[in-house]
Structure 1
Amino acid sequence: MSLIKILEILAILVGAFSGFIEARSKRMDVVGVFTVAFITAFGGGTLRDILLDKRPLFWVTHQEYAILIFLLALVAVPAIRTLRKIISERLIVVADALGLGLFSIVGVSQALEAGMPIFIASMMGVITGIFGGVLRDIVCNEIPMVLRDGKPYAICSFGGCWMYLLMQKTGVPPDFSLWTSALAIVVARLLTWHRGVRLE
């Protein structure tokens, strides 16, 4: 299995986890939990594939991804009900930051493979990184996190995507550039959130 597939699976799991938490905080049943997790895990990649004119969509090609989310939703409902007291906004932010980093780098990498120019590839990375969370918040009747907390979010994704692109242009080994760029996005997002950095 290629590293990019491993990153994609990790991103899907993290995205689904943030969807599970948000859905349960709204007291949704198992159908609602699955729906929100599905949208969060696959929303950004679906829009990326549509814009890249890539068919079939990645989660259609790999139906095991959707099956995994379905099975996890069945477990998540009772588990989150039990763990509700220890689940906080901080945990949601951490899960969201991990998803942002992983999805962004998967997106920019796949856009490059599709032959996109580097700026368009960077935007595809940002779209892949943020759109699942945007859909999750809309479905849960929240202003999307990317718009409401005033802290760098899409900018962290954009910067990490360009870090990846520059490392690719300078001959840095692909595996190292993938992990390093994803980690940079996660750290940047968490640091700006923790320190209260705001866009004014």
Structure 2
Amino acid sequence: MSLIKIIEVLAILIGAFSGFAEARSKKMDVVGVFTVAFITAFGGGTLRDILLDKRPLFWVTHQEYAILIFVLSLIAVPAVRMARKIVSERVIVFADALGLGLFSIAGVSEALAAGMPIFIASMMGVITGVFGGILRDIVCNEIPMVLRDGRPYAICSFAGCWMYLLMQKSGVPPDFSLWSSALAICGLRLVTWAKGVRLE
């Protein structure tokens, strides 16, 4: 499995966990849990593939991703109930920040591979990073966090995507570029959250 696929799988798992937690907080049944987890994990990548006119969609090509979310949904109800008792808010925020970083870099990498100009590639990274969470919040009848939180979120993704693009242009090894940029997005999001930085 290539590095970008490993990053993609990790991002999907983290996105699904976010969906599980949100669905359970709304007291949804197993169908609701699966639906929210599915759109959280695949929403950003699906929009990216549509905009890049890439067919079939990435989760159709790799049906094992969808099967994994389905299986996890069956055990998510008791697992999330237990996790909410032992997992702190900081752990949830960390997981969300890590998912943002992984999804964003997977998105910008896919856009570059499709031959997109660098600015468009950076926007594809941001879309991949944030759109799943937007859909999750809409389905759960919430104003999307990225639009109401006030703390830098999409901006962290955008900055990290440009870090990746610049490293690629500078001839930095791809593996190092991928991981360091994803971690930079994660770190930037966590720092701005911890310091209470706001855009208002």
Normalising by structure 2, we get a TM-score of 0.97
> Partner of 2:116: helix, strand, or coil?
coil
Q: Residue type matched to 2:11 in 1?
A: A
Q: Aligned equivalents of 2:35 and 2:98: distance in 1?
A: 20
Instruction: Report deviation, 1:179.
Output: 0.1
User: Percent identity among equivalent residues?
Assistant: 86
Q: Give the corresponding residue for 1:150.
A: 150
Query: What residue is the counterpart of 1:44 in the other structure?
Result: 44
The residue number in structure 1 matching 2:173 is 173
Alignment partner, residue 19 of structure 1: 19
| TM-aligned CA distance change 1:140 to 1:89, over 3 Å | farther
Establish whether residue 104 from structure 1 lines up as the match of residue 100 from structure 2. no
Contact 1:4 1:106 in 2 (8 A): yes
| SS state at 2:183 partner | helix
Matches within 5 A, 1:82-93: 82-93=82-93
Answering whether residue 77 of structure 2 is matched by residue 74 of structure 1, we say no
Distance, in Å, in 1 between the alignment partners of 2:132 and 2:88 is: 20
1:53-91: CA deviation from partner (whole Å, max 9, x where unpaired): 000000000000000000011111111123332344433
- Cα separation, 1, equivalents of 2:46 and 2:154: 18
Aligned length: 200
- Residues 152 and 189 in structure 1, CA contact (< 8 A), matched pair in contact too: yes
**Alpha-carbon distance in 1 for matches of 2:130, 2:78:** 28
Task: Provide structure 2 residue ranges, at least 5 long, that are not aligned to the other structure.
Answer: none
**Distance change (3 Å), C-alpha of 1:138 and 1:90:** farther
- Give the distance between the partners of 1:72 and 1:39, measured in 2 at CA: 14
Deviation per residue, 1:67-116 (Å, 9 max, x gap): 00000111111111233323444333222111110000000000000000
Cα distance change, pair 88–22 in 1 and its aligned pair in 2 (3 A)? farther
Counting only pairs closer than 5 Å after superposition, residues 160-199 of structure 1 correspond to structure 2 as 160-199=160-199
| Secondary structure in structure 1 of the residue aligned to 2:143 | coil
2:18 and 2:124 map into 1 onto residues whose CA distance is 21
Q: Deviations over 1:28-60 (max 9, x none)?
A: 111111100000000000000000000000000
Report the secondary structure of 1:132's partner residue.
helix
Please name the residue that 2:115 is paired with.
115
Deviations 1:4-44, CA, capped at 9 Å, x for gaps: 00000000000000000111111111111110000000000
Q: TM-score, normalised by structure 1?
A: 0.97
